[in-house]
Amino acid sequence: MKFLIVGLGNIGAEYDNTRHNIGFEVLDMLASQMKISFELKKLGMVAEGRIKNQQIVLLKPTTYMNLSGKAIQYYMQEHKITTEQLLVVTDDLSLELGTIRMRLKGSHGGHNGLRDTEEKLLTQNYNRLRFGIGNQFHKSQQTDFVLGKWKADETTTVEQSKIKATLAIESFVLEGISKAMTKYNG
């Protein structure tokens, strides 16, 4: 069986180490642990490898956040991936900094990358790993917050949670979403 693990983010150095790019950061850490490298391909940066006996494709879309679904749809078709074999890693304002939560389905919650994914896949029923980035911003500053860099006092929490997120992805691939949720949600 093959799995598609997608990290949401924006391409370009100006977006490196920003809250909105945590999906890219988690996949970078996982690729490093697996000793595989990303290559620029159609609509995304792609790395392929194995977790034990399971084949995985890591995807960082190069379509920018608002068109993430286009890349996801393409690679699902390219690799004959079902929604059960898909996991989307994304930032989440409604979760406390560093909290991770896996879900089988759900709404986009105002997240443009998830909104586009829903529109392209014609369903809300796909697995996601939500990474809490907190919501410490004034009412009109949401965009600046999510596109802002991590603060020095956040980096330890973020790094520890990225490790937890890679373990949750491995659990998803090897044991399924239900067991991964039981182990890593909270």
Q: Which residues are catalytic?
A: 20
Instruction: Specify burial of residue 25 (Cβ count, 10 A radius: 0-12, 13-18, 19+).
Output: buried
DSSP three-state, residue 139: coil
> In whole angstroms, what is the distance from residue 162 CA to residue 89 CA?
11
DSSP three-state, residue 21: helix
Which helix (H) or strand (E) covers residue 48, if one does?
strand 44-51
- Quick check: 20 and 146 in contact, CB under 8 A? yes
Instruction: Specify burial of residue 180 (Cβ count, 10 A radius: 0-12, 13-18, 19+).
Output: buried
